[in-house]
């Protein structure tokens, strides 16, 4: 049953069908031929037996007529003078029924499934005797039984049957052979070419086309395949144009949001600076008031400077992968430092630090990311709640690369060093940091915009919207990733995964709470 359920190839299926059809049709022809052989051989054998028996009967009648008073008259005395094909002659007191000749098969068949018998008993009636012979004979025989045996008929039947079966087998083989060759030329070979072309197209070779014979189904399939490839090319071209237009639209939208953010964030300090400058020009206040105005001007320019530095960090973060930072140590130091601020007075910070290797990032940049995430978590809870900071090793994570590795021209012929360089880049898991708060969570509509420059959900004047954008730039510049996981109404989690620094020892974990 398992073999029958196994899928067959087209060639095997069609050849099997051809064999079954040829076997069935030729089997009917063979049965018909065997029936013809049976009827023909039976008729010949019966006719031969009756002819021989008639000769024997005439010889017996002649002997009876010539010796009407012979007391030992019997059929056995005639066997020596008759054909060797006659095995027995018996005189019968009664004729066969209705006086017609009767043929009865005797012994075994000449062939197992053909009712043709080499030996038959032929029973014939006697004709009327002459008056002297009839009056002289003590008992007049009324019939005669002659056993006729033809050894050649068995060999002839076997020969005819074997020839018939051999011809049927040859016909089946020829039909299957020529059917298979024809199938291979018309179906199998074109389908294989089509499958090979489909694999190459799937690999990216869209210049390939399939040649097919017009007028049959395989040719129509090849033409449909070629039209499909052309349709794929056209769809890709439309998609490429659409991507370009989408990218241009997104770029313009990003530039617009950036310009609006810059105008808003920088405009307020500039307006304040202008107001202080105009006040100094118009009123010429005393030294103390002038110094106060100038201090305000310096403070506002520092705000502008911080905004510009944040933008520079977003635009050109540099490569922070050369660092080897003890993540757990930085977390402990940063939380200890923040615990003295009034902002954290009603906030409990829980530390769940696992054993981690050093992360491939500069310590100052990692501290900046951590500060942004923890302060944002406290702001989201409005200064009251629990913040959990966890660190662990994320197994199976590999650092993302901004550009794929390529084979170098200096690689030896026949050897591609990209796999070796990829293995050396560090793929043994990443150092994970998660900051979870118990605030109200992030609205679903805001999730896609969280890391955009100048996007903020804080009240005006309490945030520039550059913290998360700068954090993402720093993390991705170190080869890591950062993402937000949200449970609206319960809280949010920001996850940072960084590549581990090679050849560095890990730091021990701990469970601690600050509040």
Q: Which sequence spans correspond to the domains of the chain?
A: 2-169, 209-316, 319-400+426-514
Please list, in sequence order, all residues whose beta carbon lies within 8 angstroms of the beta carbon of residue 118, skipping any fewer than 6 positions away: 45, 107, 110, 149, 150, 151, 153, 154
139 near 23, Cβ under 8 Å? no
Task: Report how far residue 148's alpha carbon sits from residue 222's, in angstroms, rounded to the nearest whole number.
Answer: 72
Give the number of other CB atoms < 10 A from CB of residue 192.
Answer: 12
164 near 29, Cβ under 8 Å? no
Helix (H) or strand (E) holding 391: strand 385-394
pTM comes to 0.42
Helix (H) or strand (E) holding 230: helix 217-283
pLDDT of residue 346: 82
pLDDT of residue 174: 81
| Residue 71 DSSP one-character state | T
Name the residue with tokens 């140590």: 329
Please list, in sequence order, all residues whose beta carbon lies within 8 angstroms of the beta carbon of residue 130, skipping any fewer than 6 positions away: 65
Helices 363-380 + 467-477 axis angle, to 10: 150
Task: Report how far residue 3's alpha carbon sits from residue 222's, in angstroms, rounded to the nearest whole number.
Answer: 32
- The three-state DSSP-derived secondary structure of 78-104 is HHHHCCCCEEEEEEECCCCHHHCCEEE
Identify the sign of the CA torsion 179, 181, 185, 188.
Answer: positive
**Domain 319-400+426-514: which topology?**
Heat Shock Protein 90 (3.30.565)
Same fold? 209-316, 319-400+426-514: no
pLDDT of residue 3: 45
DSSP secondary structure, 439-487, as one string: S----GGGGGGTTSTT---SPTTS--S-HHHHHHHHHHHTT-EEEEEEE
pLDDT of residue 420: 46
85 near 187, Cβ under 8 Å? no
Identify the sign of the CA torsion 199, 200, 202, 208.
Answer: negative
Identify the sign of the CA torsion 500, 503, 504, 508.
Answer: positive
CATH architecture of 209-316: Orthogonal Bundle (1.10)
429: left (phi over 0), alpha (psi -120 to 50) or beta: left
Please list, in sequence order, all residues whose beta carbon lies within 8 angstroms of the beta carbon of residue 110, skipping any fewer than 6 positions away: 41, 116, 117, 118, 153, 154, 157, 158
Going residue by residue through the chain, which has 515 residues, state the pLDDT in tens, using 9 for 90 and above: 444 455 556 666 666 777 777 777 777 777 777 778 778 877 877 888 888 888 778 877 777 777 665 544 455 555 555 566 777 888 888 888 877 888 888 877 777 777 777 888 888 887 665 555 445 444 567 788 888 888 777 777 778 888 888 887 888 788 778 777 777 777 777 777 777 887 887 777 777 777 766 666 777 777 887 888 888 888 888 888 888 888 777 777 666 666 666 665 666 677 778 887 888 888 888 888 888 888 888 887 877 776 676 666 555 555 555 678 899 999 998 888 777 777 778 888 889 999 989 998 888 888 888 888 888 888 888 878 888 999 999 888 877 544 444 444 455 544 444 444 444 444 457 999 999 988 878 877 777 777 777 666 666 555 566 677 788 888 888 889 998 888 777 888 999 999 988 755 556 666 666 66
pLDDT of residue 406: 47
**453: closest CA among 468, 474, 441, 437?**
468
Which two structure tokens, joined as six digits, stand for 63? 């002997």
**343: closest CA among 375, 388, 386?**
375
CA distances from 473 to 251, 364, 493 (A): 17, 14, 18
Task: Report how far residue 290's alpha carbon sits from residue 294's, in angstroms, rounded to the nearest whole number.
Answer: 6
Helices (H), 95-150: 131-136
356 near 327, Cβ under 8 Å? yes
385-394 vs 430-437, strand pairing mode = antiparallel
| Residue 6 DSSP one-character state | S
């Amino acid at each position: 049953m398992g073999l029958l359920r196994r899928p067959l190839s087209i060639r095997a299926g069609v050849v099997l069908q051809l064999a079954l059809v040829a076997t069935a049709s030729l089997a009917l022809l063979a049965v018909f031929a065997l029936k013809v052989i049976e009827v023909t051989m039976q008729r010949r054998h019966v006719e031969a037996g009756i002819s021989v028996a008639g000769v024997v009967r005439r010889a017996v009648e002649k002997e009876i007529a010539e010796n009407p008073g012979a007391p030992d008259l019997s059929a056995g005395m005639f066997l020596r003078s008759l054909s060797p094909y006659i095995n027995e002659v018996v005189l019968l007191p009664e004729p066969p029924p209705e006086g017609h000749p009767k043929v009865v098969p005797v012994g075994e068949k000449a062939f197992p499934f053909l009712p043709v018998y080499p030996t038959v008993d032929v029973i014939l009636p006697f004709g009327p005797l002459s008056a002297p012979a009839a009056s002289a004979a003590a008992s007049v025989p009324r019939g005669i039984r002659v056993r006729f045996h033809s050894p050649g008929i068995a060999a002839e039947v076997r020969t005819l049957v074997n020839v018939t079966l051999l011809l049927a087998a040859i016909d089946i083989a020829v039909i299957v052979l020529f059917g298979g060759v024809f199938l291979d030329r018309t179906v199998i070979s074109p389908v294989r070419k089509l499958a090979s072309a489909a694999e190459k197209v799937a690999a990216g070779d869209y210049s390939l086309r399939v040649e097919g014979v017009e007028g049959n189904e395989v040719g129509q399939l090849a033409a449909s395949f070629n039209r499909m490839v052309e349709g794929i090319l056209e769809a890709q071209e439309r998609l490429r144009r659409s991507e370009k237009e989408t990218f241009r639209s997104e770029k313009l939208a990003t530039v617009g949001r950036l310009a609006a953010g810059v105008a808003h964030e920088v405009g307020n300090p500039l307006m304040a600076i202008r107001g202080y400058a105009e006040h100094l020009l118009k009123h010429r206040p005393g030294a103390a008031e002038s110094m106060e105005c100038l201090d305000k001007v310096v403070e506002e320019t520092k705000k502008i400077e911080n905004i510009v530095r944040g933008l520079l960090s977003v635009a050109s973060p540099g490569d922070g992968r050369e660092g080897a930072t003890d993540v757990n140590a930085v977390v402990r130091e940063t939380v200890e430092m923040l615990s003295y601020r009034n902002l954290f007075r009603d906030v409990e910070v829980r530390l769940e630090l696992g054993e981690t290797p050093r992360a491939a990032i500069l310590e100052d940049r990692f501290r900046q990311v951590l500060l942004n995430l923890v302060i944002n978590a406290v702001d989201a809870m409005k200064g009251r709640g629990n913040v959990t900071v966890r660190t662990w090793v994320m197994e199976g994570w590999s650092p993302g690369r901004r550009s794929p590795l390529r084979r170098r021209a200096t690689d030896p012929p026949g050897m591609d060093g990209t796999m070796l360089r990829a293995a050396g880049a560090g793929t043994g898991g990443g150092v994970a940091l998660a900051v979870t708060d118990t605030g109200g969570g992030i609205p679903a509509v805001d999730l896609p915009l969280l890391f955009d420059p100048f996007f903020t959900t804080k009240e005006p004047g309490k945030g520039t919207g550059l913290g998360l954008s700068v954090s993402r730039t720093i993390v991705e510049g170190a080869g890591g990733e950062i993402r937000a996981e949200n449970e609206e109404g319960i809280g949010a989690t920001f996850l940072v995964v960084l590549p581990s620094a090679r050849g560095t020892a890990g730091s021990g974990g701990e469970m601690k709470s600050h509040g």
